[in-house]
Amino acid sequence: MRKRIVAGNWKMNNTLDEGLALASEVVNMVNDEVTDDVMAILCTPFIHLAQVSKITAESDKVFLAAQNVSEHAAGAYTGDISVAMLKSVGATHVVLGHSERRAYHNETNAQLAARVDISLAGGLLPIFCCGEALETRESGKHEAFVTNQLKESLFHLTAEEMLKVVVAYEPIWAIGTGVTASTAQAQEMHKAIRAFLAEKYGDAVASEISILYGGSAKPSNAPELFSQPDVDGGLIGGAALKARDFVDIIKSY
């Protein structure tokens, strides 16, 4: 049975003290309130990882992710960070290919494939992001665009490796644009992603891969979203910066 996951992406927010306070609130609330089998992941800026890992260690339901990693193991790559560095401070997961990284830093599918490989080899579990912009959605090419992202970055993996990857679908066109994605549209795309994974790896593997929704989920709409058969949780942005909202989303199952 595939895992139900709610990952909170802090993006470029929170000073160290603010982040530690938020992480403590989340972990305490999860320990006190969450009884269902749901995995929570805090995706923090690099400065928080070492100390937040000590907080997440107090819960068997809360894990820690970095927001990016280099495709290089070490060397003269100023400003980058390696898998070994992330592992050394307690990260268990890493977000790869977020729409903002693709847009602002021109990350390519080939580059992300290399980052997936080095992450898996080093024991970090990728949360691989995919998604389309508004013009792609309006052109009707959204499924082909997203499945190509998966093909070029993930389809070199073995089935065993693929089972370690979490996929996160981001409808970029519905984030900060004033356009709202419906629950039906979310389910439609998640179903298409799972079907595409099944074409490559078979139904047995595809049915075990968690696919998260990254389209501005919040406590008010998470229960409906998470009730969809192919939506296995969320990659949460703004709502992850408030402990009460984030934990209420975790409790939406």
Residues designated as active site? 98, 170
Structure tokens at 206: 């595809």
- Beta strands at 211-213 and 166-169: parallel, antiparallel or unpaired: parallel
Rounded CA separation 26/240 (Å): 9
Cβ atoms 224, 182 nearer than 8 A: no
Q: What is the CA radius of gyration of the chain?
A: 17
Between CA 80 and CA 86, with CA 85 as vertex, the angle to 5 degrees is: 95
Backbone angles phi, psi at 106, to 5 degrees: 55, 40
Whole-angstrom distance, CA of residue 82 vs CA of residue 71: 8
Helix spans in the chain (H): 16-33, 49-56, 83-88, 99-105, 109-122, 134-138, 142-154, 159-162, 183-201, 203-206, 222-226, 243-250
